[in-house]
Amino acid sequence: MDPTTQAFLAAVLGAVVAGGAVLAWHISDRQQTTRTVTEEPVVPPEVATVLSVLRSSAVIVDDTDTVVKASAPAYAFGLVRGTQLVSDELDAMVREVRRDGQIRETELLMSRPAAPARHVTARVAPLGSRLVLALVEDRTRERRVEAVRRDFVANVSHELKTPVGAIKLLAEAVADASDDPEAVKRFAGRMNLESDRLTRLVQQIIELSRLQADDPLETPTAVAIDDVIGVAVDTSAIDADSKNIDIVTGGTPGLEVFGNDEQVTAAVANLVANAVSYSACDSTVLVTTKADDGAVEISVVDQGIGIPPDEIDRIFERFYRVDPARHRSTGGTGLGLSIVKHVAATHGGDVRVWSVEGQGSTFTLTLPQHLPHHAPGQLGSAPSENVQKEVLK
């Protein structure tokens, strides 16, 4: 073979080798790229579907601590900012689960800027080899309810202990004074007062427990407000007479509300009883009604001790009293206004208060009005807070 032919064959062979090398490099690069794309952590479609309908806060994090998928509640709750978890504690749990593959569950107190801290339950589990799933449930309301329940039980125990202890002491006093008829009569009268107070407390605890859930009424009916006020006034008549307090009623007659007769009567009776209890002797308590834009307002005005401005927001709490030193003399249980608040809530209404310390208060209970087809067009009106000023003249 001549040198020219050899050179030509060598050139062709070199070109083939070079082309093969280039082709091999392209194939290798494509395989690597495909492998890289395939190895990217991908959220399974069925998991993504579940996350889209979850009401819980759910987050999927990859092996670089990047959030690759999150449910809408997770964003609304503020659990994710951008592509990162906001909570350092939750982030640490995710890393621990990724390290050992063990499912973890714990309670956390999560704080957010310009927002109150939230109690949450976090459950973190591995999802495949590179993904971790975190489920977060807000338990703040449950913790608040538990705290309220504990306080309620503690307060009830304390309140029950007072009259029960008094009755026991009075019974011992009666036994010791068996030869003194006047002393026996006096102690027996005190025992009657304490037993009445205990009965009222138990009744109001039962009533409050029925209203606790703030559930809407199942079978509301038309409730005649004139009858409700009549019962409320009669209930407090003896206490009012003993203090020479006049209970005056006025406003628009014939009004009806939509609700439960027993609950509405209990609410108004508590307002009237409170007004009588905390009013001075020889004063006036005014109960008025008026219709206003599909609602009925029942206002109870007294000339009592009034409420300090910094305590108005607390008067509807269970067992809270503006003047704790007077609660034994007034026979109050501290539950009346709480019952009124719950009745208003279950009826879709509200209760508000206007008060001047040392002059008196006006409590206004607003409930949805029941309008029969033959209701008159002229509803009339009656004063509410302004009545306070008229009574005080």
pLDDT attached to residue 64? 85
115 and 64 in one domain?
yes
346 and 224 in one domain?
yes
Q: Does 68 reside within a domain?
A: yes
Structure tokens at 275: 């007004």
Structure tokens at 35: 């492998």
Q: How many CA within 13 A on the CB side of residue 345?
A: 14
Last residue of a domain, one of 138, 160, 176: 138
Question: What is the C-alpha to C-alpha distance for residues 320 and 339, in angstroms, rounded to an integer?
Answer: 12
Q: Does 19 reside within a domain?
A: no
Separation in Å, CA 35 to CA 19, 21, 62: 24, 21, 18
Last residue of a domain, one of 122, 138, 154: 138
Radius of gyration of the chain (CA): 37
Last residue of a domain, one of 212, 247, 269: 212
Q: Does 323 reside within a domain?
A: yes
63 and 166 in one domain?
no
pLDDT attached to residue 211? 61
CATH number at residue 293: 3.30.565.10
Q: Does 359 reside within a domain?
A: yes
pLDDT attached to residue 35? 47
> What is the per-residue burial (b if ≥16 Cβ within 10 Å, else e) of 55-91?
eebbbbbbeeeebbbbbebbeebebbeeeebbbeebe
pTM, two decimals, is: 0.52
Range of the domain at 284: 216-392
207 and 230 in one domain?
no
Tens of pLDDT, residue by residue, the chain (393 residues): 555 555 544 554 455 445 555 455 556 566 555 444 444 456 667 677 777 767 778 888 888 888 888 888 888 888 888 888 888 888 888 889 888 888 888 888 877 666 677 888 888 988 877 888 888 888 888 887 777 677 667 666 766 776 788 888 888 888 888 888 888 888 888 888 778 777 777 776 766 666 655 555 667 789 999 999 999 999 888 888 889 999 999 988 999 998 888 889 888 988 998 889 888 888 999 999 998 888 999 999 998 888 888 777 777 776 655 554 444 444 455 677 888 888 888 888 899 988 888 888 899 999 998 876 544 433 333 344 444 444 444
**What are the residues whose beta carbons fall under 8 Å from the beta carbon of 13, sequence distance 6 or more?**
none
347 and 228 in one domain?
yes
Q: Does 91 reside within a domain?
A: yes
286 and 258 in one domain?
yes
pLDDT attached to residue 77? 82
152 and 96 in one domain?
no
* Total domain count, the chain: 3
